[in-house]
Structure 1
Amino acid sequence: MAPAITLAAEAPKLSAANTGFMLICSALVMLMTPGLAFFYGGMVRVKSTLNMLMMSFISLGIVTILWVLYGFSMAFGTDSGSLIGWNSDWVGLGNIGLTELWPGYTIPVFVFLVFQLMFAIITPALISGALADRVKFSAWALFVALWATVVYFPVAHWVWGTGGWAFELGVIDFAGGTAVHINAGAAALGVILVIGKRVGFKRDPMRPHSLPLVMLGAGLLWFGWFGFNAGSWLGNDDGVGALMFVNTQVATAAAMLAWLAYEKIRHGAFTTLGAASGAVAGLVAITPAGGAVTPLGAIAVGVIAGVLCAMAVGLKYKFGYDDSLDVVGVHLVGGVVGSLLIGFFASGKGQSEVEGLLYGGGLTQFWKQCAGVFAVLAYSLIVSALLAFILDKTMGMRVTEDDEIAGIDQAEHAETAYDFSGAGGGAAKTAAVAAGVAGAESKKVDA
């Protein structure tokens, strides 16, 4: 028999299909930030609507520029001490070839970096929901720039960058349970502990002003999340991205139903806000786990996250921290739940052969998940609180009490979300109509 001939592995070639797929996924993730703006914007009172929208939209501007200048290099450049990356050739993105491939994949570096950019944009935007009604826009914009630089970029390197300590440890985070949701949720908690409560917290009604807007935002988030999750496999060749797509839908549906069931039992009603919040909780929880679990496992993740997040949103009243739009209760708790459940439900048949406790793998993966979860939580909480403290003591983080009561939209943006006077529905016309009705009724009586 002739001796076997071993051929060198063929180098990856640019795939037009995977490149197109990833560009579409990048656009879907970008859409999530406006979707988040609508979701949050509908949940606040009328007088804060525009400010809430702007707190998300400004992240599209600030983080994009930082990513080009140094963010991509910090997050995905050559590792230094397992804590941060750097590649001087990527500063300004001027030395990247058009067809230069991301190592080990069939997509260009430009496609990978723009996909990751959309993650970097939405993560600080998530924090904004906890700070509704009371933060200066200028202080928020500076906070976004500083937080992205000293928190998000390093944490993204830990979790996804080659050489990052969590990556090398084997912490599983398919699409951002730690780097995005725990990171943002812990940051939100750190900031609100520094800046304090809204005027009238636990005393005045602070109900959502537009539940249709909330549902629209939730729908856009759900839609965009397919790109967020399925795209994180960076290709579409082996079916793992398809598994993640299916699990994203399944877990979200399960979490929404679980939240509504809990709400009905606890409060006696199925609310639209509960449906939207439950869906987001499921999306958050399946984000780290969806490539490792089966669809049945995704149902379990969704149900557990839906119930625990629904329970968690009430903790702010018990412990007295003012998380305006439940960023801590949904994103922090949902991210923790989804990340830790990998240690139980990982099947070994998805993104890797790692098996969780229920599949005979013991608790090894669970302890790895704990390391990633609590390290990111602690780092983000402490550094975010420190950043907020410094900004509060220098430029001031909060608007004045008078501006908060009158409405942050007028104070910070000189605009209002809804102006009915131009549609002929002002007070003068209302008074005229009322006078006309009264006159007609008077004539009937006289007759």
Structure 2
Amino acid sequence: MGTKPHARPLRIPGALLAVAAALAPSLAHAQVDGTDVVDSGDTALVLGASLIAMLALLPGIVLHHGGRLRSRAFLATATETGAIAAIVSLLFVAAGYTIAFGTVTNGWLGGGNAWMLLDLGNVRGSSNVPESAFAVLQLARVLFAATLLTGAWAERGNIGWIVPFTGLWSVMVYAPLAHWIWGGGWLASRLGTIDFSGGLVLHTCVGVSALVVTLLVGHRARLGRDGEPHAHAPGLALAGTGLVWVGLLALSAAGALAATDDAATALLNSQVGAASGALIWLLADALTGGKANPLALARGALVGLAATSAGANAVQPGSAMVLGACGVLVAWSASRLLRRLQIDDAVQLFSVHGLGGMTGAILTALFSAQKLGGIGYAAGMDAPRQLMAQIVGAGVVVAWSAIGTAIAGLMVAMLVPMRISEAAETAGVDQANHDTEGWNFD
């Protein structure tokens, strides 16, 4: 790929344009004072891809998480996902967007007058996309991050604690990190940390937060002989993975904020990384005496998506293959270690997303080099400096996610218990939290 002095325009599929046009017909080619120009193609990409992401990710997480758990936890997973999406959407509009993407002041928190989205710009920054469309993309991202957390307390979480905790987490943990890296804050502007589509802000943050929640809540009352309860519907879990796969591809393309080569490159690299990761995890299991488990395929694909997201626009497809493979090697090893330690990360969020995203984000510093087909480095940066920026950025994300999650979780736990009783857990979290069951074939 090499350098990209000029971004190549893409032809947007007609269906995507139709979706975006239906959502915001008045946005195309708007102009204010002859300066703020909105590009209809760029807007179509961002709105269409964001909508596809939300349509795929939310049910995908329900199927992926629910299929990997006991049948008596499926309805709870679905209900928690919907409730989390609702409260996070409201808090994002009220405060989260401004904290993450408001006016840059000291580089720590956003400011300005975008509370309740009252004062959005005609366009976002130097893009040709309305700030309202940019806000839709960021809403899709935070919804993915918050709902993904449902795996951390699987089968034992108290919904009275879950909903306020995730709402607080989205504002207190996620939003500041988004500002530091995506909103012009200190990690990006002063250190040069890069994260195109969420290797650090989404995947690493969620993975570390999930590990902290898992430790706070404790392990499930009933574990299988291998230290991990058997999934009741691996086929559903694999189908859910497919939806999450599509959703993350859409988020990668939308991250370019323009219908250019960056969007196509990001989508292509994400697909290549996912494919590489899926096959490498299957191979790792086969070489250690395992069989072709559908959940291994699912885990590997998700690791590949996490590992390529930070540098999705910055590396070439061959490097994306390597990123996916390296992410799997780290995540696969970590998942086996956590199982031996009996840390009950039910859907392996820390190994798959946390370590997968972190590994890819750090290695992006090396594979961005022009000698390896990458786009090169920003002015004043080279491979060693970029590597240090990525390592420091990853360390900050880990520390902030761990400390902030612990504080938020314990604050809410002072009012509402984190988990249901052992007797209720044995009966099933569907009955305990919702007085019904997800599957009833009578």
Q: By the TM > 0.5 criterion, same fold?
A: yes
User: Is contact 2:228–2:339 with CA below 8 Å preserved after alignment?
Assistant: no
Partner of 1:22: 46
Which amino acid counterpart does residue 390 of structure 2 have in structure 1? Q
In terms of Rg, which structure is larger?
1
> Residue 359 of structure 2 is aligned with which of 337, 349, 368?
337
> Residue 154 of structure 1 is aligned with which of 176, 180, 183?
176
Partner of 1:259: 281
Partner of 1:223: 246
Structure 1 length normalisation: TM-score?
0.87
How far 1:140 moved relative to its partner?
A: 0.3
Partner of 1:309: 331
How far 1:253 moved relative to its partner?
A: 0.6
CA distance in 2, matches of 1:415, 1:366: 51
CA distance in 1, matches of 2:240, 2:409: 28
CA distance in 2, matches of 1:407, 1:350: 52
Residue 200 of structure 2 corresponds to residue 206 of structure 1? no
* 2:197 partner SS: coil
* 1:394 partner SS: coil
Counterparts of 1:333-372 in structure 2, within 5 Å, are 333-348=355-370, 352-354=375-377, 361-372=382-393
Query: 1:63-111: CA deviations, max 9, x gaps?
Result: 11111111111111112321110122x11223336xx111201111100
How far 1:167 moved relative to its partner?
A: 4.0
Partner of 1:437: none
Call closer, same or farther: CA 1:29–1:164 in 2, change over 3 Å. Answer: farther
**Matched residue pairs, number?**
404
Query: What is the Cα-based RMSD across aligned positions, in Å?
Result: 1.9
Residue 109 of structure 2 corresponds to residue 84 of structure 1? yes
How far 1:352 moved relative to its partner?
A: 4.9
Call closer, same or farther: CA 1:124–1:160 in 2, change over 3 Å. Answer: same
The worse-fitting range, judged by mean Cα deviation, of 330-339 and 301-310 is 301-310
> Residue 172 of structure 1 is aligned with which of 194, 198, 221?
194
How far 1:306 moved relative to its partner?
A: 2.0
User: Is contact 2:187–2:393 with CA below 8 Å preserved after alignment?
Assistant: no
Query: 1:340-398: CA deviations, max 9, x gaps?
Result: 1112211349885318xxxx944211110001101010111112122222333432101
Which amino acid counterpart does residue 81 of structure 1 have in structure 2? N
User: Is contact 1:40–1:53 with CA below 8 Å preserved after alignment?
Assistant: no
User: Is contact 2:315–2:375 with CA below 8 Å preserved after alignment?
Assistant: no
Structure 2 length normalisation: TM-score?
0.87
User: Is contact 2:368–2:374 with CA below 8 Å preserved after alignment?
Assistant: no
Counterparts of 1:17-416 in structure 2, within 5 Å, are 17-31=41-55, 32-88=57-113, 90-96=114-120, 100-201=122-223, 203=225, 206-237=229-260, 239-348=261-370, 352-354=375-377, 361-416=382-437
How far 1:202 moved relative to its partner?
A: 5.4
Which amino acid counterpart does residue 50 of structure 2 have in structure 1? S
Call closer, same or farther: CA 1:362–1:54 in 2, change over 3 Å. Answer: same
Gaps of 5+ in 2: 1-33
How far 1:145 moved relative to its partner?
A: 1.1
How far 1:164 moved relative to its partner?
A: 3.5
User: Is contact 2:331–2:351 with CA below 8 Å preserved after alignment?
Assistant: yes
Partner of 1:438: none
User: Is contact 2:104–2:185 with CA below 8 Å preserved after alignment?
Assistant: yes
* 1:289 partner SS: coil
User: Is contact 1:161–1:167 with CA below 8 Å preserved after alignment?
Assistant: no
Partner of 1:436: none
Query: 1:179-200: CA deviations, max 9, x gaps?
Result: 1111111111111211211102
